Amino acid sequence: SYKLSNRIESVEPSKTVAFTSLIQHLRKQGKNIINFAVGEPEFETPKQIIEATKHALDSGETRYGQVAGILELRKKLAGDFAGYDLDNIIISNGSKQCLYTIFQVICNPGDEVIIPVPCWVSFSQQVRLAGGVPVLVPCLDNQLDCEAILKSINKKTCAILINTPNNPTGAVYPKSDLEKIAAAAEEHDLYIISDEAYEFFTYDSVKHESMFNFKNIHDRLIITKSFSKSFSMTGFRTGYAAGPKPIINAMAKLQSHCSGNVCSFAQYGALAALSLDNSIVKNWIAELNKKRDMAFDFTSKLFKCIKPQGAFYLFPDISNYLKKGETSGDFSSKLLAETGVALVPGEAFEQPGHVRISYAVPEDILVKGFKAVSKYLQ
């Protein structure tokens, strides 16, 4: 076997990426797969984005550019953050790279990052890759357990990570809880990393509360957002971080050594996304709201499930269906083999006994998939 670094040996591969590969493999073998495991909306990328990308290519935007991203895009994004200018923004290869870079620039060996769980797959591995220690704090009914979070703070704590709307639970955290977290960060001199990749995806008139609304933490807040889900352009790999200039500078320094600028023409596609007619995304959200209702109806008949108000996932408790010693990974594998329905096991999100269901799929597929799951469980 090959000798690899301790660093890479200490992390696990992304369980959701592994699952996506398995689905692709099964499809290649001719199996009919109903994919409730997707982490992206099924909407087509708006044609204005495609056209702007093609136009950038035709006009020669095919070269190295500024590491932190094209000026027009950073300037436009900075406009969403009162008091910020383009130097408060860095464009990276998806918010995934932003988050990776953030941990690299803020963590020293042994520094702790508090992460409410269940949580997105990459957070704890990214913290580990930065030499930090992920401190996983269970949520209460998918909401933040502020008391438990505050109790986890100690001398080694470096940051608290917040992800709202949340992947995998779909929870949208209320202002009152976020305010408590902000106050604690201020009191204990901690960074707040706020992953707002699903900022547009909220339902039933529930509003996403950005951590940027708390002015008292602007000197310690790093927000990550993404074009991936917001404009259905996951393959463009374009996300961004907004934060204090010294942090953004440090991130750009790291990025200059590991990837340089994000694909030049992809950034022009992203720029076009910011000028899209609001109605496009609004219609997507209305469609997803309907699908959320349908999916929740089906799911709550089968499993214990909290109705989520955001993102495009349900995260039911399937433990009633598990035989002794069985994991949600076993459950998902069997379900996939027997019905062709793919779900992501909760272990991927640090929460066994659950599965994540993505309802960002066509309506007929949604119905077909849930019928297959109901029949299988009976």
Residue ranges binding ligand PLP (CB under 6 A): 39, 94-96, 120, 163, 167, 195, 197, 226, 228, 234, 239
Q: How far is the CB of 197 from ligand PLP (least distance, A)?
A: 4
Contact 159, 191 (CB under 8 A): yes
Classify strands 191-195 and 221-226 as parallel, antiparallel or unpaired. Answer: parallel
Q: How far is the CB of 254 from ligand PLP (least distance, A)?
A: 16
What span, in angstroms and rounded, lies between the C-alpha atoms of 328 and 321? Answer: 9
Give phi and psi for 36, each to the nearest 5.
Answer: -95, 15
Beta carbon nearer to ligand PLP, 274 or 377: 274
Q: How far is the CB of 115 from ligand PLP (least distance, A)?
A: 11
DSSP state of 87: G
What span, in angstroms and rounded, lies between the C-alpha atoms of 332 and 343? Answer: 6
Beta carbon nearer to ligand PLP, 39 or 353: 39
Q: How far is the CB of 228 from ligand PLP (least distance, A)?
A: 3
- Cis before 345? omega within 30: no
What residue number has its CB nearest to ligand PLP? 94
Q: How far is the CB of 227 from ligand PLP (least distance, A)?
A: 7
Q: How far is the CB of 5 from ligand PLP (least distance, A)?
A: 24
Cα–Cα–Cα angle for 41, 42, 48, rounded to 5 degrees: 90
For the chain, where are the E strands, in sequence order? 34-35, 89-93, 112-117, 133-138, 157-163, 191-195, 221-226, 238-242, 313-314, 341-342, 344-345, 355-358
Beta carbon nearer to ligand PLP, 168 or 353: 168
Beta carbon nearer to ligand PLP, 96 or 292: 96
Beta carbon nearer to ligand PLP, 240 or 296: 240
Beta carbon nearer to ligand PLP, 21 or 59: 21
